[in-house]
Amino acid sequence: VLTRKPTNLAVATNPAHEITILESDIPEPGPEQCLVHVRATGICGSDVHFWKHGCIGDSIITKDCGLGHESAGIVIKTGSNVKKLKIGDRVAIEAGIPCSKPTCDYCRTGRYNGCPDIIFYSSPPVDGTLRRYHAHSEAWLHRIPDNVSYEEGALLEPLSVALAGIERSGLRLGDPLVICGAGPIGIVTLLAAHAAGAAPIVITDLDEGRLKVAKSLVPRVRTVQISTDKSAQNIAEEIKSALGQEAKLVMECTGVESSIHSAIYATRFGGTVFIIGVGSKSMHQYPFMHASFREIDIRFQFRYMETYAKAITLVSEGLIDLKPLVTHRFSLEQAQEAFEAASTPAAKAIKVQLLDD
Ligand code: NAD
Ligand code: ZN
């Protein structure tokens, strides 16, 4: 084994809402698996949520549980049946492994993100990929070319969410688009929609700093800063005036109920509100009559499927530049600081990553 560091560290949380660094054995890859030295992992809002709140829906932290699912690294050992990958290959890790059985309707019909038996790393009780050494099925490792860094490789995970949403939304060249929320998901959605030729594009956020980041990445984007003391209809008027028309498509990347209301009011007859954001409330109320009388499609995205190959091509061919998204870098040993930076608005982080070499 080409391990340069003797200890396997994993960053975890527990029912006491602590960030802990656990030492464990270096796993032995199964016959179909590769052992990966994870070199970069991004912190996602869900990792912070598991730490602070101990659960997301029915997924509950009842014991130590490793975090992280946005990872890339290098193959350092291969199982006996591994066919395509070899030691030294640099890979992005796709963190959800569906059952892939022919008896599974979702896997068989190409909707594998709906597989009821999917194993998603960092969804308790399954540990995450925010660790030094991780054994992963070869089929769900995606080789990245030399011109894609480990940091970018880890960002292919949030980019996958945006690509899956854009694919299903039916976005076309020249479609007037609104993106609600300029967090990491809103920003990767902006980068992807810009590359896909949406025009014009408006992005919203409460935070002026995040809108400035969006504008610095895509200068042609029009920004609308949201103040929550205004009504959803008034906010929609501001969005439409910035767009110069009603939206054909709104990609909603906050999951916040009031933002979805403005999204619905800003959409044209027959348009679509495509909701990627999840937020934290399990029940929402929507302007039913308005959406009904205007034939507005309200649709949702759950993770992604079949996105990694495209994501790698878009980054390596230069259509999408993910590099500026990483604003904060820490070592595994600095996990506590990393999670503080990811959860403290004053840190002004877009994406915090933990790196290992
Ligand atoms: P984030 O919290 O960093 O970003 C959300 C942004 O929305 C913030 O910048 C916030 O200021 C802004 N915001 C909040 N209320 C707003 C409002 N009323 N109007 C406009 N902007 C508002 O989160 P993120 O990592 O960018 O993720 C965004 C959402 O996507 C989250 O809800 C997350 O759970 C969800 N998500 C969904 C999937 C999926 O599979 N569907 C995958 C990953 C993330
Ligand atoms: Zn399945």
DSSP 27-93: PPP-TTEEEEEEEEEEPPHHHHHHHHHSEETTEE--S-EE---EEEEEEEEE-TT--S--TT-EEEE
Cα–ligand 2 centroid distance for 297 (angstroms): 28
pLDDT at 179: 99
Distance between CA atoms of residues 323 and 310, nearest Å: 17
**Hey, what are 128's tokens?**
């995450």
Q: Name the token pair of 168.
A: 């299903």
* 205 Cα: distance to centroid of ligand 1 (angstroms): 9
State the distance from the centre of ligand 1 to the C-alpha of 316, rounded, in angstroms.
Answer: 26
- Residue 42: partners with Cβ closer than 8 Å, 6 or more residues away: 68, 70, 71, 154, 155, 157, 158, 184, 326, 351, 352, 353
**Which tens digit of pLDDT belongs to each residue from 294-353?**
999 999 999 999 999 999 999 999 999 999 999 999 999 999 999 999 999 999 999 999
DSSP readout, 202-254? EEEES-HHHHHHHHHHSTT-EEEE--TTS-HHHHHHHHHHHHTS-EEEEEE-S
Q: Which of 185, 191, 210, 258 to mutate to test the pocket of ligand 1 (most atoms within 8 A of CB)?
A: 185
Q: Is 204 in the pocket of ligand 1 (CB under 6 A)?
A: yes
- Residues of the chain short of pLDDT 70, as ranges, are 1-2
Residue with CA at minimum distance from ligand 1 atom 42: 303
225-233: long-range contacts, CB 8 A cutoff, minimum separation 24? 226/259, 226/262, 228/258, 232/258, 232/261, 232/262, 232/264, 232/265, 232/287, 233/262, 233/265
Q: What is the pLDDT of residue 311?
A: 98
User: Quick one: which atom of ligand 1 is closest to the CA of 235?
Assistant: 19
pLDDT score, position 2: 64
Centroid of ligand 1 to alpha carbon of 126 (angstroms): 24
Is the CB–ligand 1 distance for residue 96 below 6 Å?
Answer: no
Ligand 1 atom showing the smallest separation from residue 164 Cα: 40
Tokens standing for 59? 């997924």
Nearest ligand by distance to the CA of 275: 1
pLDDT at position 57: 87
Distance 161 CA to ligand 1 centre (A): 12
Alpha-carbon Rg of the chain, whole angstroms? 20
- Using DSSP, state whether 255 is helix, strand or coil: coil
The pLDDT, as a whole number, for residue 30 is 98
Among the atoms of ligand 1, which is closest to the Cα of residue 304?
A: 40
302 vs 307: CA distance, rounded Å:
13
3-state SS string over 117-132?
A: CCEECCCCCCCCCCEC
- The enclosing H or E element of 108 equals helix 105-108
The predicted pLDDT at position 4 comes to: 79
Query: How would you classify the pairing of strands 267-275 and 247-252?
Result: parallel
Tokens at 10, concatenated: 């994993």
Pocket-testing residue among 223, 233, 254, ligand 1, by greatest number of atoms within 8 A of Cβ:
254
